[in-house]
Structure 1
C-alpha cells in the first residue's frame, strides 16, 4: 500500500524543522498556520510516527524526526535537480542555502552576491554564517554550511580549497590622513603612525607575522580586535591606520575611508571556496556558487585582487 503524503507535506516538514516554529514555517511557505499543521499531521499519520515534540513554547524534532530530516532534505534536493533543466522555474523554486564566510569577505563583497542571487531566486532563503576561518571550516565539515568562503583550507584530505582570487593587503586610512594622498606606502611608513591591528587568534595576524618578520613596528598598536571589519570602524573613527585585505575595504566612493597599496613587501592572501570533498552541492548552493564566481569576474571585488584558476590545500588551520 502506498504512503499517503506529497511534496507540500515534505516542504512543510522541512520548514518547521529548520525554523523551530509553526508560525515562522507557515510564513516561509506562504500558507496559514492551521494549514501547515494539517500538512504535518498528514505526514505523521502517513509515516505512523511523531516527527515533532510540541509544547506551548517550542517545537523540536523527535528522535525519529531527526533521522527522517536528512532523507526528506535529499528528496527535495533531488526534485530540485530535476527541475534545473526546465526553463522559467527560477522565480518559483524554493529551498535554502547556508554559506560560511570570514567577515573580511562577507562585509562588502557578499552583499552584492546575495542581492543578485535573491533577484534570480526570490524564494530561496540565504543563511550567512560570518565567523572565523576555523569556524568556517568546522561548519563546512559538519554539514552546517553548504560551503565556505575563506582564505584558509586544511591538511585534511576531505577538505577541498579552490582558489577564487588573490588579494593584497592595503593601508586603510581616513581621507584626511597624511597617507591618503600617497600612491603606495611601505610597511615601515605605515608603522610611523598610530595603527590598529588584529589579535593573535586571527589568521590574518599569522599571515602578516610570517610575511613581515623583517619589519619591526616602532610601537605596539593602539588597539587590537578580532575582526577586520571592527578595525575599519576604528580607522574611520580616527584611532589610527590599519593593514587590511583589499576585499574588506568599502567602495571608492566611501566618504571617509580610502586605501593605499602596501609595499616592501607586497603581502597577498588567497581567497577561495572551502568544500567537503565528495559532497555534492545542492542546486540552491550550486547556483549561489555560480553567482559568487560571476560577481568576482564582474569586478565587484576591487582593483587590488587577481583571479587565480587553481586549487590548493592550506597547511594550517587557524582562525580568521
Structure 2
C-alpha cells in the first residue's frame, strides 16, 4: 500500500476539501484527486462522496481513517528506529525539558552522557514546566526535567537540583536592594517556582513595588541589560552575563529565602532513563559542592 496515498487521504479526510488538502500538502488539487483515486482502486471501494466542490467520507472512509492513521504512525516509528539503527543507535531516550534547564546545566550533562553512551539516541523536547508532567504521564517522553512537580498521579517528581536565586540588575555603583526596587521595575513571572512567595515577601517591606511581567528568563536578561528593570533569577542563568560584565548581582535577604528547584519527573523507568538519572544525580552533587565553595568565597 502506497504510504503517500495514505497521507494524502488522511489530510483530505481531515479537511473534507481537496483544494484545502492540496494547500496543506503543497501539491496541486488534481494530484490529491489522483492519489485518492489510486487508493480507492487499491482498496476496491469508494472512500469519499463527492458533491460539487465538497467531499465527505463514506462509511468505508470513516472505517478506514483511524486504521490509515495507525499504519502511518507505525510506519513513521519504524522508519525512525531504522534510521537510528543506521546511525549506530541501539537504544533511545526521550526527555522533555524546561527552557531554563535546557540552557543552563543540561548541555554539559548531555555531552558527558552521550560521550559515554554513544549508542543511545537522545531526543530533547523543549516544553513549559507545566506541560512536562502530561508528556511523561501520556508516554510521549520517557522522563522530564521541570521547574515544577508533576500534577499527574501516575508520575513521580524527585528534586534533583537546587540552586540559589539572586537579585540581578544593571551595573549600578553602590546600589543595594532597596535602591534597585525603588528605582527600577521588578521583572516578574519568568520562573514558575518561586515568584508567588517572593512577591509576597517583598511587598511586606515595599508594598508599592512597580512590576512588569516578562515570561522568559532570556528576555528578562536582555531587558535588564537595557535598563528596563531588575529581577530575581537562578544563579546559573546569569553566569555568562556576569563574566561578560553585562549584569551584576546584589545582596538580597528576600532572595536567600528562595531556591530554584529542578524536578526529575518519571513514570515507567527504562534502562536508559536509569543511566541518565545516575548522571543527573552525580551532576547535582558536583554542582552543589561548587556552589558551596563559591558561597563561602563570596
Shared fold by TM > 0.5?
yes
How far apart, CA to CA, are the structure 1 residues paired with 2:173 and 2:201? 25
- Give a deviation string over 1:236-272, Cα, whole Å, max 9, x none: 3332321112232225534423433421463323322
The question of whether the paired residues in 1 share the 8 Å contact of 2:202 and 2:254 is answered with no
Q: Secondary structure at the match of 1:299?
A: helix
How far apart, CA to CA, are the structure 1 residues paired with 2:141 and 2:257? 30
Which residue in the other structure is 2:26 paired with? none
How far apart, CA to CA, are the structure 1 residues paired with 2:114 and 2:190? 37
How far apart, CA to CA, are the structure 1 residues paired with 2:102 and 2:289? 11
- What's the offset of the Cα at 1:301? 9.1
- What's the offset of the Cα at 1:230? 1.7
Matches within 5 A, 1:75-154: 93-154=89-150
The question of whether the paired residues in 2 share the 8 Å contact of 1:246 and 1:304 is answered with no
Q: Secondary structure at the match of 2:229?
A: coil
Cα–Cα, structure 1 residues 102 and 200, in superposed 2: closer, same or farther, change >3 Å?
A: closer
Cα–Cα, structure 1 residues 161 and 266, in superposed 2: closer, same or farther, change >3 Å?
A: same
Which residue in the other structure is 2:284 paired with? 296
Q: Aligned match of 2:185 in 192, 195, 218?
A: 195
Q: Aligned match of 2:195 in 205, 220, 229?
A: 205
How far apart, CA to CA, are the structure 2 residues paired with 1:143 and 1:301? 34
Q: Aligned match of 1:177 in 162, 172, 176?
A: 172
The question of whether the paired residues in 2 share the 8 Å contact of 1:96 and 1:125 is answered with yes
How far apart, CA to CA, are the structure 1 residues paired with 2:100 and 2:197? 14
How far apart, CA to CA, are the structure 1 residues paired with 2:201 and 2:150? 20
Higher helix proportion? 2
Cα–Cα, structure 1 residues 295 and 199, in superposed 2: closer, same or farther, change >3 Å?
A: closer
Give the number of equivalent residue pairs.
221
> Which of structures 1 and 2 has the larger relative contact order (alpha carbons within 8 angstroms, sep 6+)?
1
Alignment RMSD (CA, Å)? 3.8
Q: Aligned match of 1:274 in 241, 248, 265?
A: 265
Cα–Cα, structure 1 residues 142 and 121, in superposed 2: closer, same or farther, change >3 Å?
A: same
- Give a deviation string over 1:141-197, Cα, whole Å, max 9, x none: 2222221122321454323111123323211134x3236xx7xx54x4441231342
Unaligned ranges ≥5, structure 1: 1-59, 77-90, 307-320
Q: Please identify the structure whose Cα radius of gyration is greater.
A: 2
How far apart, CA to CA, are the structure 2 residues paired with 1:211 and 1:61? 56
The question of whether the paired residues in 1 share the 8 Å contact of 2:187 and 2:229 is answered with no
Which residue in the other structure is 2:53 paired with? none
Which residue in the other structure is 1:230 paired with? 219
Which residue in the other structure is 1:256 paired with? 246
Q: Aligned match of 2:230 in 219, 238, 241?
A: 241
- What's the offset of the Cα at 1:226? 0.9
Cα–Cα, structure 1 residues 287 and 161, in superposed 2: closer, same or farther, change >3 Å?
A: same
Q: Secondary structure at the match of 1:113?
A: helix
The question of whether the paired residues in 1 share the 8 Å contact of 2:159 and 2:264 is answered with yes
Which residue in the other structure is 1:21 paired with? none
Unaligned ranges ≥5, structure 2: 1-66
